[in-house]
Amino acid sequence: MSKLKTIIFTILLLWLIIYLFSNIITIPDLNDKIAVITIDEPISIGKQSIPFQNQFSSQDIIENLDKASQDSTVKGIILEINSPGGTVVASKEIADRVKSMNKPVVSWIREIGTSGAYWIASSSDKIVADPLSITGSIGVISSYLEFAGLLKNYNVTYESLTTGKYKELGSPFKELSQEERAFLQSKLNQIHDYFVKEVAANRNLEL
Amino acid sequence: MALKNLFPSRKAPLWRRAFAYVIDLIAISIIISPLRNFEFQEENLSSLYQFLINNPGIATNFILTTFIAIIITLFYFAFLEFKFKQTLGKLIMKIEVKSLTRELSFSQTLVRSITKISTLVLLIDYLYGVINHSHQRFFEKISNTEVIEV
C-alpha cells in the first residue's frame, strides 16, 4: 500500500475510534435551558379583573408557556408559584395549557399555592413545596358587597327594568332572593365539582 | 553508500512547513470532528472557570474532550512521523523529518510534537529558531531532529 494510502487509512481509523468514543461520552448542549415562569399574583383573564389588586393575566402566562414550548433550547419549565389563585376560567386556561405542554413542567410552590394556583400546579408533572407552604383550598368563592340596606337607610330607591329571570343576578343594589341564591349556589357547586375532579385526575387520586 | 548521503539535505523552507502544518490541522480537525465543540458563552476566563466549577459534569466532559484532542494530535504527529517520517501535510509538501543522530525513534517524534498541541505554543517554539538563526524549533533541537526537503 502506498504511503499516502496508509496515512489516509490511519486518519480514517483514528476518526472511527473517535466516533465510537463520542457515542460513549455525553457532551451536553450548553444552550440547554430551563424556563422559569413566575406566578406570584392573583390570576385573572385580564389585568384589571380584580379591582385594586395586581394580577397576572392568564394570557401572559400562556404566552410564556408557548414561548418555552417552541424554544428548542428549553428542555423543561419551572412554574414558580406564589399565588392565592384567581378567577375560574383564567385558572382553567392556564392549567389546560400546562397539561398540554410537550416538555416536563415542575411547579414550585413557595409561600402559597391555593385554589386556582393549586389547580395549575396539579396540572404539572411534579409539585415541589415547602412543608410550611399553604396549598389546597380546592373550592370556589363568589362574593360581592350588597348595598340594599344602606340605600334604604338613606331613603334611596333603586329602580331597574329588566327582562329575563336572572338578569339582575348579583346586583349590589338589591337583596339576593332565595331563588337567585340557590341558582348561584348551584353554579358554584358545578364549578367546584369540576375543580375537584380535575385536581383528583391530575394527582391520580380517587374521589 | 546511498546516493542521497552524498548530498547534504536541504532544510525545508518555512512556507512548506507552514502549509504542511495547515494540512495536518485540517486532517486532525476531521479526526476529532465527532467530538462536539463546547461553545461557552462566558465572556472571560474568570467567569468560565466559575461556570465549570458550578457545573462539574460539564467540566468533566470538557476536560475529557480536550484531553482526547491533545492525545490525538500528539499521536497523529508522533506516530506518522515515526512510521513514515511524514504526516499527510509533509507528504503533500514533499518534506520529511530526519533524525540528526541515529535512526528516527518514536520518542524523538513524540518530543518534537509536544508543542503541536497548540498553534500558539508551536509559534513560540518556532520563534526560538528564528531568534537563534536556526532552522530548528526548540523541541526539534532537544529531540535532535530536523525537517528537510524530499
Cα–chain center distance at A6: 63
CB contacts of A5 in chain B (<8 Å) are: none
User: What confidence category does residue A22 fall into, taking pLDDT thresholds of 50, 70 and 90?
Assistant: confident
What sections of chain B are H helices per DSSP? Answer: 3-6, 14-31, 45-54, 56-84, 88-93, 106-113, 119-131, 138-142
Contact A18 B72 (CB under 8 A): yes
Residue A10 sits at the chain B interface (C-beta within 8 Å): yes
Q: Determine which of A131-145, B54-68, B84-98 has the lowest per-residue pLDDT on average.
A: B54-68
- C-alpha torsion A170→A172→A173→A175, nearest 10: 60
User: Which pLDDT score is estimated for B150?
Assistant: 87
Residue A158 sits at the chain B interface (C-beta within 8 Å): no
C-alpha cell at A41: 399574583
Contact B32 A4 (CB under 8 A): no
Cα–chain center distance at B67: 15
Residue B95 sits at the chain A interface (C-beta within 8 Å): no
User: What confidence category does residue A54 fall into, taking pLDDT thresholds of 50, 70 and 90?
Assistant: low
User: Which pLDDT score is estimated for A46?
Assistant: 72
Chain A nearest-CA residue for B84? A3
User: Is the overall model pTM greater than 0.90, yes or no?
Assistant: no
Q: Is it the case that residue B1 has pLDDT exceeding 50?
A: no
Residue A48 sits at the chain B interface (C-beta within 8 Å): no
Q: Is it the case that residue B52 has pLDDT exceeding 60?
A: yes
Q: Is it the case that residue A125 has pLDDT exceeding 90?
A: yes
Residue A3 sits at the chain B interface (C-beta within 8 Å): yes
Main-chain phi, psi angles of A129, to 5 degrees:
-145, 160
Contact B86 A3 (CB under 8 A): yes
Catalytic residue among A57, A115, A122, A133: A115
Min CA distance, A75 vs chain B (Å)?
17
Contact A7 B58 (CB under 8 A): no
Contact B34 A10 (CB under 8 A): no
CB contacts of B26 in chain A (<8 Å) are: none
Q: Residues B80-113: pLDDT tens digits?
A: 999 999 999 999 999 999 998 889 999 999 999 9
User: Which pLDDT score is estimated for A185?
Assistant: 93
Residue B65 sits at the chain A interface (C-beta within 8 Å): yes
Contact B31 A26 (CB under 8 A): no
CA-nearest of B147, B126, B146 to B137 is B126
- To which H or E segment does residue B149 belong? strand B145-149
Residue A16 sits at the chain B interface (C-beta within 8 Å): no
Dist. CA B45–CA B60, nearest whole Å:
17
Residue length of chain A: 207
Strand pairing category for B95-99 and B145-149: antiparallel
Of residues A128 and A23, more confidence is placed in: A128
Residues ≥6 apart with Cβ < 8 Å to B35? A18, A22, A27, B65, B68, B69
Q: Which long-range contacts (CB under 8 A, 24 or more apart) does B66-75 make?
A: B68/A18, B68/A21, B68/B32, B68/B35, B69/B32, B69/B35, B70/B117, B72/A14, B72/A18, B72/B28, B72/B31, B72/B32, B73/B28, B73/B113, B73/B116, B73/B117, B74/B110, B74/B113, B74/B114, B74/B116, B74/B117, B75/A14
Active site residue A115: yes
Residue A18 sits at the chain B interface (C-beta within 8 Å): yes
CA-nearest of A141, A142, A152, A146 to A175 is A146
User: What confidence category does residue A115 fall into, taking pLDDT thresholds of 50, 70 and 90?
Assistant: very high
Dist. CA A28–CA A73, nearest whole Å:
12
Contact A3 B91 (CB under 8 A): yes
Main-chain phi, psi angles of B70, to 5 degrees:
-65, -45
Residues ≥6 apart with Cβ < 8 Å to B18? none
Substitution target from B24, B35, B41 for chain A, most A beta carbons within 10 A:
B35
Min CA distance, A91 vs chain B (Å)?
36
Q: How many CB atoms lie within 10 A of CB A139?
A: 13
* Percentage above 90 pLDDT, chain B: 41
Q: Residues B24-48: pLDDT tens digits?
A: 999 999 998 887 666 666 667 787 7
Cα–chain center distance at B115: 6
Mean predicted lDDT score pLDDT of chain B: 85
Q: Is it the case that residue A202 has pLDDT exceeding 90?
A: yes
* Interface pTM, i.e. ipTM: 0.79
Dist. CA A116–CA A91, nearest whole Å:
5
CA-nearest of A139, A156, A160, A138 to A148 is A156
User: Which pLDDT score is estimated for B47?
Assistant: 78
Dist. CA B134–CA B97, nearest whole Å:
16
Contact A19 B34 (CB under 8 A): yes
Active site residue A103: no
User: Which pLDDT score is estimated for B145?
Assistant: 92
